[in-house]
Amino acid sequence: MGFLNMLLPRMNADTIYDIPLETLWKQGIRGIITDLDNTLVGAKEPLATPELVDWLKLVKDRGFQVVIVSNNNRLRVSAFADPIVVPFIPSARKPMNRAFRQAMERMKLNPGQTAVIGDQMLTDVLGGNRLGLYTILVKPIASADEGFFTRINRRIERMAIKRMK
């Protein structure tokens, strides 16, 4: 598999709310590793929205486990995840394998049972694909709030998409 193919998600969705959970369940997915910033909420949103709280309840009620894996620091991720009681791994250094593996160990699942949801091809999708996880790319919620490295990643993503077309 060439590098550009490693950037291709298995599924695209506008938002997390558009992901067909029933389809994932039928495919044997039992755990979801999700990015935080610009995937679940905007990068500057400190807390979960009521809509997100409802979605996470729906996901858990359907039988999925969820772990937030974020490149952001512990303070940001714990302030977000603790009130909604979702386990998390901060400072993940995605697309490196370690945090993805830790999340799967925490859920006691293997790659074939695990999906990754994120808004970046170079971190979430590449990291998930490297381990054989089911990757889902969502559109970023608030790209105006993105940091320096994310803006560089977006530029590389646009070039990669042009090449693939």
pLDDT grade, residue 90 (50/70/90)? very high
For the chain, what percent of residues have pLDDT higher than 70? 88
Domain ranges of the chain: 3-164
The tokens describing 22, both together, are: 């029933």
The 3-state DSSP class for residue 117 equals: strand
Burial class (CB in 10 A: 0-12, 13-18, 19+), 85: exposed
In CATH, what class is 3-164?
Answer: alpha beta
pLDDT, one tens digit per residue, over 7-40 is: 899 999 999 999 999 999 999 999 999 999 999 9
pLDDT grade, residue 155 (50/70/90)? confident
Mean pLDDT of the chain: 91
